[in-house]
Amino acid sequence: MENEKVGMSQLKTFSPINGLKAENVQALANKTYVQTLHQGRFLFKQGDEKRRTIYMLEGEVELLVDGKVVRTVAGGSKEAANPLSPMFPRRESARALSRVSYIAIDSDLLDVMLTWDQTGSYEVSELRNAAGTDEDDWMTTLLRTEAFHKIPPANIQAIFLRMQQVQYKAGDMVLKQGDDGDYFYAITSGQCAVTRETPLNKEGIKLAQLGVGDTFGEEALISDAKRNATVTMATDGSLMRLGKDDFNTLLNEPLLDWVSYEEARRIVAEGGTWLDVRLPSEFENYHQEDAINMPLYFIRLKLKTLDPDRKYVVCCDTGRRSSAGSFILNGRGFDTYVLEGGLTMSGADAA
């Protein structure tokens, strides 16, 4: 079973994956493999900070706090439909009571997919068509990079729609060391070689080989400095590029009020309200006491149910979906705050 891909139908039994559009579930299925663990081994330990969303498929695990068993979870059970111990750092250890099979998904990738799925304004297929390319993986790969995790969700659509596709032949120079920065690039097909000229080597020292989903060119745009390396096409290929002005505008964080968990509790104690923008299944699994659940994709439809004179602390797992929700609400005159780090990272005591 090891290295076997998980089926799309099985993925759709898990929350919040069951809230994704079909094409995004398929994208996850293409990158998710079944893993196994023998009895007595740990899936993770208390305090672990590695951001993996883990679902049980078969077998049984026991969850321990400070070495004491607090509960067990069996594959196929109702409880197993939710991620195993979703808080970070992990509040529990998970030890296999039998031989178990499970899947582990990059938590940030899943959260990014949920965010741009639930904003309701664009889909991967729409963006891919707008970009003029049929490549399957470059966009998903790009969104997995740490730099794109920091981009405001409200800006992601505009970034892809304003990117221009450029075709290159092997040997073509994309950018040259010492030139002014003009574009940010993402590779959609082919490979690029990165070299840097030194006083002792005018031909250039090869620094890296880049492939589909890799990006380059941002350093000179951020620092407004000269290019510090030369990038040449190692093969025929296609790049998407974003102009300097668009890069600087769209990668800036919208004006949002981020608050710690302690600050959020104070705002709520003084008359504010928790507004949880996750899916109902996630909310049911755990949430803040007295929180309102309004999934991100419903916000525009439910505006009239919110009190314009009340302060709202918008929350989700990580802060990504809640920042998108806050951005929407702020544009319509609401007074909102975003829980920094989200429920899984803030130390929140969710019910």
Q: What is the pLDDT of residues 149-162, one digit of tens each?
A: 556 666 776 777 78
Q: Is the pLDDT of residue 315 over 90?
A: yes
Q: What is the pLDDT of residues 265-298, one digit of tens each?
A: 999 999 999 999 999 999 999 999 999 999 987 8
One-letter amino acid identity for 29? A
Question: Percent of the chain, pLDDT > 70?
Answer: 85
Q: Is the pLDDT of residue 223 over 90?
A: no
Query: Are 134 and 216 in the same domain?
Result: yes
Query: Are 199 and 308 in the same domain?
Result: no
Query: Are 125 and 67 in the same domain?
Result: no
Task: Supply the pLDDT for residue 49.
Answer: 92
Residue 219 counted as domain residue: yes
Q: Is the pLDDT of residue 256 over 80?
A: no
Q: Is the pLDDT of residue 124 over 50?
A: no
Tokens of 25: 């579930």
Q: Is the pLDDT of residue 67 over 80?
A: yes
Query: Are 59 and 164 in the same domain?
Result: no
Q: Give the Å distances, CA to CA, from 186 to 147, 153, 174, 183, 281.
A: 12, 18, 12, 10, 35
**The domain boundary residue, chosen from 74, 107, 140:** 107
**Domain containing 280: what range?**
258-339
Query: Are 142 and 179 in the same domain?
Result: yes
Q: Give the CATH number, domain containing residue 194.
A: 2.60.120.10
* Sheet of 52-58, strands arranged across: 35-37, 100-106, 52-58
Residue 211 · residue 191 · CB < 8 Å: yes
Residue 330 counted as domain residue: yes
Please tell me which of 92-101, 176-185, 192-201, 252-261 the model is most confident about, judged by mean pLDDT.
92-101
* 245 DSSP 8-state letter: H
- From the list 45, 44, 50, 53, the residue with the least C-alpha distance to 17 is 53
Task: Supply the pLDDT for residue 145.
Answer: 59
Q: Is the pLDDT of residue 117 over 80?
A: no
- Cα(250)–Cα(238) distance, rounded to whole angstroms? 23
Q: Is the pLDDT of residue 130 over 90?
A: no
- From the list 116, 216, 211, the residue with the least C-alpha distance to 160 is 116
Residue 345 counted as domain residue: no
Please state the pTM of the whole predicted model.
Answer: 0.66
Query: Are 207 and 275 in the same domain?
Result: no
Task: Supply the pLDDT for residue 14.
Answer: 97
pLDDT class for 137, splitting at 50, 70, 90? Answer: low
**The domain boundary residue, chosen from 228, 250, 272:** 250
What is the number of structural domains in the chain?
Answer: 3
Task: Supply the pLDDT for residue 236.
Answer: 97
Task: Supply the pLDDT for residue 125.
Answer: 41
**The domain boundary residue, chosen from 210, 232, 250:** 250
Residue 135 counted as domain residue: yes
Q: Give the CATH number, domain containing residue 285.
A: 3.40.250.10
Query: Are 280 and 196 in the same domain?
Result: no
Query: Are 96 and 158 in the same domain?
Result: no
Q: Is the pLDDT of residue 30 over 60?
A: yes
Give the least confident one: 162-166, 292-296, 309-313: 162-166
Beta strands 335-339 and 311-315: pairing type? Answer: parallel
